[in-house]
Every structure is written in C-alpha cells, then in structure tokens.
Amino acid sequence: MGNRLRTYTLMYLDGTLNSYGMIFFSKERWFSLILLLISMLDCRLGAGGLAAVLLTNIIAHILGFSKQKIRSGIYGFNAIFVGIGLMYKFYTNNSFLILFVFSVIMAFMFTIWLESLFSKHSLPILTLPFVFTLFVVDLSVKTFTKIETIGLFDRFTVVLANQMEVPWYPVAHAMDRVPLPSIFYYYFKTLASVFFTDSLLVGIIITIALIFHSRIKSTVAFLGFFFAFFTSKLLGVDIQELTRNLAGVNYIFWGMAIGSFFIIPNSFSYLLVIVLTPALFLFYASIENLIAGLGLSSYTLPFSLLSILVLFILKQRSLSRFFIFPYIQYFNPEKTVYKYVNYMERFSQESLFKLQLPFLGEWQVSQGYDGGITHLGAWGKALDFVITDEQGSTCLGRCAEKEDFYCFNKPVMAPADGYVYMIGNITEDNEIGDVNTRKNWGNSIVINHLNGLYTQISHLKKDSFKVRIGDYVTRGTVLAACGNSGRSSEPHLHFQVQLSPEIGAQTHAYPIGYFFEKGKEKPLLHIGKVPEEKSTIYNIQPSLMAHKAFDNKPGRAMSVTYDDEPYSWYIATDEYNKTYIHCRKSRATAYMENDGTMLYFTDFEGKKSSPLYLFYRSCFKLLLSNEREIPVSDNIPLTKEHPKGTRWFQDLLAPFVIFTQICYRSVLIETDNIHYPEKMVYRSLLETKSFNIKLHRRISVITVNHHQIKINTKNHTLCIDWV
C-alpha cells in the first residue's frame, strides 16, 4: 500500500511539473518549478492552472490512460492554459466551478481525440485542445446567466485592487516602469502573458530561466518575436496587440517549436523561422478578422496551425534534406544537436551489416574497384585477391602448374551469416595460361545475407565445395577452395557484393567491416572501408577473452565497486532492441555494442558523477583483439565534457559550427600472452580541444581478465565483477 501511494504521488508530482515544462518544450524539473511558482504570483490564476492540471491527470489515471504519458505532462500542459484562461475571464462562484470542471474534462477529451488523429501522421497537437476548449466556452457562456464575465473596466478596478492587496504584488511589478528598449519591453511583457500577467519582472525571470535552460531555445524564441515585432511596425499594427490574448506568444512558441524542437537546430531551421514568421503574422490577422464577429480570440491557434502544416509538409519528403527530424527527442536542443552531429560523424558511413574478408591469412588486392582489367562498368565494384611472398611473387618455382600458386586450394570462407543461395560447380580449373571466356565466372557461390545484400565469390576450385544450396552458414564457415576456373589466367579469388542473387549480377560498392592492412612497422586498422589495390590485408582475429569480458548479453548482472562504494548494474534491451547497461543507484544508462571485433558505446543518459559514466568514457571504443599498439580513435558527444568557460558560447553557435571536440583514443598496451591472454591492459585518452587548441587530458588504464574489468584514473578506481 505504501509503495503504491509513493508511486502515485511521484506520478502526479512529475505529471504536474512536466506539464508546466512542456509549455516551453522542456522536461527540466528546476525550470518547470520556476514556471509553476511564477504562475502562482497571481494566486487566483495560478490556482486555476494547478487545479486544472491535477484534475486532468486524475481523470487520465482513473480512466486507465498511459501512466508514462501522465508523468510526461502531455495530457496536462493544455489544461494549465485552460485553467488560467478561465480564471482570467470569469469571476469565481458555484456555477463557474461547474463550468471549470467540465471545461477541463472537455480539454482532456480534445487532447485524446486530436492525439489519436494526429499520431497517424506523427504530428503534434500543440495547443489545439486549449484553443478549441476556450472557443466552446466563449461561444456558449452568454447563455449562462450565472457565469459572470470579468469586463475590461472591472479588470482595471476591482481585480487590480484585489491583486494589489497581495503582499508580493509590489515586488512582482517593481520593474514595470523601468525604461527599456521597446523590443525588449514588449518581449518581456509577451513572455509574462503566457501566464496571463503583465508583470515585466515575470517576463525577465522567464527569459533568464530560459537562457539557463537552453541557449538555442532562448535564441529562437527571441528570433520569432523579433521578426514579428518588426513585421508589426512595417505593416502599421499596434505593437501592444502582441501582449493581449497570447497574440505575441504565437511567435515565441513558433520560434521554439520549429527552430529548436521538432527540427534539429541548424542554419536552415533558423532560416525557416525567419522566413515564415510573416506568414504566421498573416495567419494570426486573418483568423482574428474571421472570428472577431463571434466574440472570439484566436489565442495560440495560428502558431499551432502553421507549425502542424509545416511539419506535415516536411514529412511528405522522400529525402530528409536541410530540415532533419530528431530520432530521439531529448527536450534539450543543445543535447539534440551534439548527439546528432556525433552520430553522423561516427555512424553515417557505417554499414549496418559488417562483412569480413573471405579468407585466412594475408592476401594482396591484385585488382580493386574499377581496376581497369576486368572490373569495368557495372561490374567495376569488385575485388580480386592473391597471396604473394616477400618478393611480391604469387607463385613458387617455375609457376607452370596451378599448384605452384600460393592461393590455389586455400580455404574460402563466408564473409557473413546467411543462406547459400546458388552454387556453380561445373567448370574445370584452367591450366596456367589458359582462360575460359565462355564461362566467365567459373565455379561460384552466392550467399543471401537476408537484408537485401548478396555476396558472390568466384573462380573457385571444382568439387571443393563444403556446403550445399540452402545451407545456413555463419561468418567464417569454410565454403570451398580457391581455384582457377572461368576467366582466370592464374589462381585468384574474385569477391563482390550485389543486390540480386544471380551469378554475375551487377556489383554494388560495399565496405569491409574491419580489417588490418600490413604496414612497415605495425598493421593499420581500417573500419568500414574498401581495401585499396596492391594493399596486403588480413582479418582481425578477435580476442575471445576480451569479447567474453565485455559480453553484452541481456540479463547479465555486474557487481561494481567505485572508490570502495558498492553499485549494481544490469544489461537489458529497449523497445528498439538496443542493448544498454543500467546503474540502479545512479539511474544512469549507457548504450553499447559488442560486434565481436569492437566494443563501442552509442549513447549515455544520466549524471556525469555516475560510475557508469566513467566506464562509458574510459571504454568508449575498444578493439577486442590481441594485437598490441593499434590505436582506435573516436569523438565523444559534447553533452558531458564541455571545457569550462566555453559551454554557453558553443551552445549559441552549435546549430552553425562545432568548435569544441572531445577526442577519444584507446590502445592495447599489454598482454601476458599474445595468442591466449589471461590479462589485457588498455590505455584510453580523452583530450578536449577548442578551436583546435588542446585544453586538458584524461587518462584511464583498463585491466581486463576473465572475471573482472578494472579501471584506474588519476582520482578514481572502478572494479566490475560479473555475477
């Protein structure tokens, strides 16, 4: 009973706070609390908004609607406007209380109905429930003789006199007569009008809180108002209209919605806000003129309609260009930008399906893409491989027989998991110097990798196949042996990726997931690249111990000690089948991938002080191989590691340029056995750069064995034991 009460209390508390934050597209608790407190400066109006959101959440809970949505504030933020709006427009009496309750219920019904309709197109409902509810109230209230409307004269006499009796009224209005440039004066007044107040101080407090919450959001909010302000002046509209009935709020909400929330902030989203602000002005003017005769105000309807229209149009595109929708909504524009930029840097060119080289040991690329011999035109994106000795020769002795060539009869392996789709095994192997031009591909195998990709391996040795059509093969399965069949003057291996299953189909450019290129002193690591002609390459042999140590199977638990303080972690998957580690005590989550060759993290949510963040930062990207001194580099997103003094400046410029980088580098520095190690030691370096100037470095030493991962830094020690 106690746990249930605590759960419900937290749900209503979160739902209430998030409802206030959602007004400004935020989920920051401190920001939401400031908005709640500001709304209560006029106790009567504030109480109406608070009562409306609580009633809405209670109704949603009783009727069995999503607890997650209740907590998120999605159902409640329109109710705040309804509650404050009703208290602003009418005197309080018993009849009004009935109207209030049913208006809140109506707003909730509009919310559910519109959400259901718009979700089919992945569109937001914004403030439409609030506007529609007040339309219904305004059109019907003249029928109700016991509902007393607060007239303009009463507002400046009776209501104002009551407000002035409140002890904090002089403080709230202390800055009303402070001389300010007109654009700032009306901007602050417009922000204050969000809560139906005209206090200049309230607008200033919201502005300051909004700046601390998000530099990007505060910039585009002012940008939308700025162009509305000058459009008003150019068209000869009374500027004071912007502070009445939420008129100017349309432009502030417009700037935030399009410039920083529904579209990833960039120069194009800013330009869209600027270019279409006059269109929003036309929307407002036309709607006002259309409904003026009915005694209605458009409130925030113009902003909602234009925003939904723009988003609907952008969603009809076949290619997302210029205006990019966020894959995950973080309710923080800076975080959205930094994570998007980092994702594009790290994964935009990465293939989701990682192929390996189809052989063992070191082979040379004898002919690469568009090689000019046989890799031409639509069949140009293919690779030929041979084995060479230190002198660059492909054979031993007189080189007169097939068997004299190093690659002849060597095993050929599956480059990835899949089904054997087709086998051609009817062509005899050529003698050296002979070429079979009638059966160009010779003996070949095609594997269907079940994701629209096929691989073809050709010039195989006749009758060397170890698999049959229909067999399921895993990466590394021996398929056949290298031969000299078809259009092949000497033994070699032909490899290509294609998008259809026929032998000899047109080729498709596709990178190899990971491979080493033989270098003068040490091998060069290549990730997601096509091998170059004349390079000598070989597969990376994963370390079984390292792979097991960083195994990310869901359900796995870890006992953690961080500076002698105990923690517990567990591995799970989310609804998108993404694997993550969760720390119960610190409530932090780190998303990771282990593909057998590389361990890398894709995201982190939580506090920087969490021990899980140290694990994330130290092991951001590790090569799970026994090969020492192979550097692995990457960039960590700018969500946790901003250098002091540059954060706000970088935030302001983030939609246009990222001048700060958090560079990551890891290397295996020690193993106790190069072939079957029992202990491996990595060193990782985190280096912060701003304007390409190195600011500071953080070094971590990661010691891995069969049962434990230990991370040592200058100030902390983290031990992870598998349960």
Residues 6+ apart with CB under 8 A from 431: 401, 402
User: 156-170, 270-284, 303-317, 341-355 — which is least confidently predicted?
Assistant: 156-170
92 — pLDDT class (breaks 50, 70, 90): very high
Q: What is the pLDDT of residue 660?
A: 92
Q: Is the pLDDT of residue 527 over 80?
A: yes
553 — pLDDT class (breaks 50, 70, 90): confident
pLDDT in tens, 582-619: 999 999 999 999 988 999 999 999 999 999 999 999 99
**Residues 455/498, Cβ–Cβ less than 8 Å:** yes
Measure the CA–CA gap between 339 and 335, rounded to whole angstroms. 6
508 — pLDDT class (breaks 50, 70, 90): very high
* Alpha carbon separation from 664 to 605, 620, 630, 700 (Å, rounded): 19, 8, 14, 11
- Max CA distance (Å), the chain: 112
Chain mean pLDDT for the chain = 92
Q: Which residues pair with 709 in a beta bridge?
A: 704, 720
Q: What is the pLDDT of residue 181?
A: 92
Pairing of strands 472-473, 478-481: unpaired
Q: Could you tell me which residue, 105 or 5, shows the higher pLDDT?
A: 105
pLDDT in tens, 655-701: 999 999 999 999 999 998 888 888 999 999 999 998 888 888 999 99
373 — pLDDT class (breaks 50, 70, 90): confident
585 is written with which tokens?
A: 């005590």
- Quickly tell me which residue has 């020769």 as its tokens: 393
314 — pLDDT class (breaks 50, 70, 90): very high
Q: What is the pLDDT of residue 459?
A: 96
pLDDT in tens, 629-664: 999 999 999 988 888 888 999 999 999 999 999 999
Full 3-state SS string of 651-676: HHHCCCCCCEEEEEEEEEEEECCCCC
pLDDT in tens, 146-155: 888 888 777 7
1 — pLDDT class (breaks 50, 70, 90): low
352 — pLDDT class (breaks 50, 70, 90): low
Question: Hey, how many other C-beta atoms are within 10 angstroms of the C-beta on 137?
Answer: 22
- Quickly tell me which residue has 């007044």 as its tokens: 189
Domains annotated on the chain, with CATH: 2-333 (1.10.3430.10), 363-538 (2.70.70.10), 544-722 (no CATH)
Q: What is the pLDDT of residue 351?
A: 62
pLDDT in tens, 416-465: 999 999 999 999 999 988 888 888 899 999 999 988 899 999 999 999 99
Average pLDDT over residues 481-509: 94
Q: What is the pLDDT of residue 40?
A: 93
- Quick one: 146 exposed, middle or buried, by C-beta within 10 A (0-12, 13-18, 19+)? exposed
For residue 602, give the DSSP letter: E
Q: Could you tell me which residue, 241 or 440, shows the higher pLDDT?
A: 440
Measure the CA–CA gap between 483 and 110, rounded to whole angstroms. 71
* Alpha carbon separation from 315 to 119, 209, 422 (Å, rounded): 13, 32, 41
Phi-psi label, residue 203: left if phi above 0, alpha if psi -120 to 50, beta otherwise: alpha
Q: What is the pLDDT of residue 256?
A: 97
Q: What is the pLDDT of residue 2?
A: 66
* Alpha carbon separation from 688 to 323, 337, 601, 656 (Å, rounded): 30, 18, 18, 20
Average pLDDT over residues 467-493: 95
Q: What is the pLDDT of residue 538?
A: 96
* Length in residues, the chain: 723
Q: What is the pLDDT of residue 371?
A: 86
Q: Specify the amino acid at residue 37.
A: L
Whole-model pTM: value is 0.89
